[in-house]
Structure 1
Amino acid sequence: MGLFRLLFWIALILAIIWLWRRVARSKRQRSKRSRTLQTHTMVRCHFCRVHVPQDKALSHGNHWYCCNDHLEKSLTRDQ
């Protein structure tokens, strides 16, 4: 009878650990999915051709720039 109780408790503890890991894994996968759904429009810097998110880029006319330095260099180069 004692061996049966021991095996029962071991099986119960293992089942609880398995369920807990399964729930945790599914939560991680859901959060990964929601992170990958967030997309940003990318634009290319007219000076160095690097792609940056549009909300972080600077625009002048119909051109986009990754930083203020490239915007200024492009303006002086075009003159």
Structure 2
Amino acid sequence: MLKLLVFVLVLAAIFWGRRLISQMGKASRPRASSKQAPNAERMLACHRCGLHVPESEGVTQREHFYCCDAHARGQDD
């Protein structure tokens, strides 16, 4: 009975130690900010091919966003 109790205590100590080490590792890492950087730009998917490009580099036509002029005109590259 004593051996079983020691075994359970050792398992509990290992579990507690791993959890403590994991929490210390998380605390030391810098957290990513949920706010976007001031110069961040939205990435939009092309209506034709699905490619994500910055909003300023794409083409908006008939309420759809395209990655290039050719896709906006309905042509394949």
Both proteins in one fold, TM over 0.5: no
Structure with larger RCO (C-alpha < 8 A, sep 6+): 1
Higher helix share: 1
TM-score scaled to structure 1, two decimals? 0.43
TM-score scaled to structure 2, two decimals? 0.44
